[in-house]
Structure 1
Amino acid sequence: MFITVKQAAEKWGISDRRIRELCSEGKIQGAYKEGRVWRIPINATKPADGRYKSKENILDIIDRKKNELDSRRPLTEGEVERLKEEFIVEYTYNSNAIEGNTLTLRETDLVLRGLTIDQKPLKDHMEAVGHKEAFDFVSELVKDNVEISESIIKQIHYLVLVDKKQDRGVYRRVPVHIMGAKHEPVQPYLIEPKMQELMIKFSESTEHIVTKLARFHIEFEGIHPFIDGNGRTGRLLVNLELMKAGFPPIDIKFTDRIAYYNAFDEYHVKHNLSAMEKLFAGYINEQLDLYLKILQD
């Protein structure tokens, strides 16, 4: 069941224009465009404003909502399954779209249901299926509270990079350059020592989970250990650690990709971590709101 932009505007007490902006930014869960018309799920929740005065404030808010979510645990199998279904299609679509996959959100949903999309590359189909399998694998790791390691990272990458069999789960052996980025990935001979150093720094960090993961994600992508699939693998690793810590997984939207790219440049050029922290914190806050709303229904 879907409602119109006008109906959503009346329901949430905001303007039609703001609803369209939120849809375009991917901030309304499950909304998609059919022709020139936005279709919004009838049970979609009003997105949080996401604008906070300071990093400390948003982190405090996140911790409070996390405690509220913890008070409702353990979740039933039905609740867990519903939350996963609400998330996986959009997450697969957005994470792959950031890397150039041409499947739409609706096409991604159909592919994950086992259908084939005419005139779309086999590679795009394989990436969708591979990403879902990788997320399923990550979900199992969360259940067992498996510690992150180079071996785990390579296993996740193996599932992500379905279309390049020889490069799956293997560190790259050639130099690479990221077009448009203001940071040069490390040379191949430095990948192993840099990854080992990253694992140690991550395990020893006592920073807030948001700060810790923002730093880890940027540094992992900066090493760029694989020939392809680094972005998708890196975002899966963020969700692995978030879920292990009891937080919902996050879905960085394709529509937010410029802010996402800029956050890397802010860190590498200005040594400023706050852009990625704020991006992660905003998504985590929205996901906590969504989980709490669903558990109240």
Structure 2
Amino acid sequence: MTKLVEQLINERDNKLAGSLYYRTQITFSYNSNHMEGTRLTEDQTQQIYDTGSVFAEQGKPIYVDDVLATVNHFQVFNYLLDTVEQPLTPEYTIKLHQILKKGTKQEYNPRFNYAGFKQLPNQIGTFNVINTTSPKETPGKVASLFKQWEKETAANLANFAKFHRDFELIHPFSDGNGRVGRLLLFKELCRRNQTPLIIEDVNKPYYLRGLREFENTPGYLVDTLGLEQDKYQGLINYFYPE
């Protein structure tokens, strides 16, 4: 286990307020969920983490699934820290997705195949659509991607970017693929002793461009991930200046 992961787990277990773990939980949950359409603000995300409650802003409704998405992301991040050294398998990825979607409407809707891979075709985006792997081919594609990744020894960011893009191109679940993919990216960077990263919602256009244009211009995604990696390294330096 890397020193960073040990620090995050120690901060979690000792319930250290204002720590790197605390900042990571709130920032990661807010940005990754907001990128996928949840309507809670970062302040509301922090309220949920701090108090288990949330206040509406200016009369705007609060949706139960948005709250569940936030709480579940806190839980799945904890699971990720505890299992960071595990190799990637289809079963591991399904477990992340199961925690992420627990209690939401999708758990009870057969169309979404809770705790399993997609059964209906899906795509990335509404305009400039990116086609994804068919449901029939998905289990094999996921297994093949992870098998190849476990053989990968290079630690440069371009390899992580390609892995992330390949996972998103499969899009193995009916929903939650972006969130699961970003969790896997954080985990694998930590596992291989690299600085992890959190993609901010404000950079979503650049992130999506990077995924869409990766085949021809991989530098778009690599540069976006590098920017976010530098930001997280800045947080590490702030909390652990030594």
TM over 0.5: yes
Alignment match, 1:289: 234
Alignment match, 1:22: none
Cα distance, 1:201 vs. partner?
1.8
The higher relative CO (CA closer than 8 Å, separation ≥ 6) is in: 1
Distance 1:292 1:209 in 2: 21
Alignment match, 1:102: 39
Q: Does 1:91 align with 2:37?
A: no
Alignment match, 1:229: 176
**Are 2:195 and 2:229, in contact at CA under 8 Å, matched by a contact in 1?**
yes
Q: Does 1:251 align with 2:189?
A: no
* Unmatched 5+ stretches in structure 2: none
Alignment match, 1:31: none
Cα distance, 1:277 vs. partner?
1.2
Q: Does 1:176 align with 2:114?
A: no
Runs of 4 or more, structure 1, over 4 Å off, are 72-76, 78-81
**Which of 96, 108, 117 lines up with 2:55 in the alignment?**
117
Aligned partner of residue 182 in structure 2, secondary structure: helix
Question: Kindly, what percent of the aligned residue pairs are identical?
Answer: 21
Scaled by the length of structure 2, the TM-score of the pair is 0.84
Deviation by residue 1:174-194 (Cα, 9 ceiling, x = unmatched): 111332244201111110111
Scaled by the length of structure 1, the TM-score of the pair is 0.70
Q: Does 1:134 align with 2:72?
A: no
Report the RMSD for the aligned CA atoms in angstroms: 2.3
Which structure 2 residues correspond to residues 1-297 of structure 1 after superposition, within 5 A?
75=7, 77-78=10-11, 81=16, 82-112=19-49, 113-118=51-56, 119-142=61-84, 145-162=85-102, 163=104, 164-166=106-108, 167-178=113-124, 179-268=126-215, 270=216, 272-296=217-241
Distance 1:292 1:204 in 2: 31
Distance 2:80 2:12 in 1: 18
Structure 2 vs 1, CA of residues 73 and 190 (structure 1 numbering), >3 Å: closer, same or farther?
Answer: closer
Aligned partner of residue 188 in structure 1, secondary structure: coil
* Unmatched 5+ stretches in structure 1: 1-68
**Are 1:161 and 1:228, in contact at CA under 8 Å, matched by a contact in 2?**
no
**Are 1:159 and 1:168, in contact at CA under 8 Å, matched by a contact in 2?**
no
Worse-superposed segment, 247-256 or 98-107: 247-256
Specify the structure having the higher radius of gyration (Cα). Answer: 1
